[in-house]
């Protein structure tokens, strides 16, 4: 049965523990994620799925180029999206290379992983737009 008082005491203990960590002199990854609003977990957190972002950015650039309703700034907006897709693609390649170089064996593991391996084609397709 649900014990309301027991849950509240666990919650208060967890809050007190996290406030003690925040008062510490050396920040940990947990402290950074609590204070900065984002999580810094590990170097293995960058996966093939992140290549969907440059893929979609390049797709937007292609759609803007093919749109029949034109105006003066449309080509400029399309060029910005195209350059953004190229820059992000190069940064993502550097990030995934960093992951595989610093953690030996992760390339094979990522290609054999049942869900992560499904996103390897996003890397291949996003490179075609650039």
pLDDT digits (tens, 9 = 90+) for 45-67: 788 888 888 888 888 888 998 88
Structural domain count, the chain:
2
Residues 51 and 107 in one domain: yes
Residues 101 and 48 in one domain: yes
Q: What percent of the chain has pLDDT over 70?
A: 64
Parent domain of 31: 4-36
Structure tokens at 7: 């849950």
Structure tokens at 101: 């170089």
81: phi then psi, degrees, rounded to nearest 5: -65, -35
Residues 50 and 114 in one domain: yes
Residues 30 and 92 in one domain: no
Residues 52 and 98 in one domain: yes
d(CA 124, CA 16): 47
Distance of alpha carbon 14 from the chain centroid: 28
pTM for this prediction = 0.61
94: phi then psi, degrees, rounded to nearest 5: -60, -40
């Amino acid at each position: 049965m649900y014990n309301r008082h027991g849950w509240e005491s666990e919650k208060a203990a967890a809050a007190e523990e996290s406030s003690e960590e925040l008062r510490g002199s050396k920040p940990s990854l947990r402290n950074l994620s609590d204070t900065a609003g984002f999580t810094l977990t590990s170097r293995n957190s960058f996966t093939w799925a992140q290549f969907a972002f440059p893929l979609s950015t390049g797709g937007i650039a292609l759609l803007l180029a093919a749109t029949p309703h034109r105006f003066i700034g449309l080509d400029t907006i399309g060029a910005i999206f195209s350059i953004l897709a190229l820059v992000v693609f190069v940064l993502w390649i550097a990030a995934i290379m960093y992951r595989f170089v610093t953690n030996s064996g992760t390339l094979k593991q990522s290609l054999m992983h049942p869900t992560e391996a499904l996103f390897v084609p996003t890397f291949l397709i996003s490179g075609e737009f650039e």
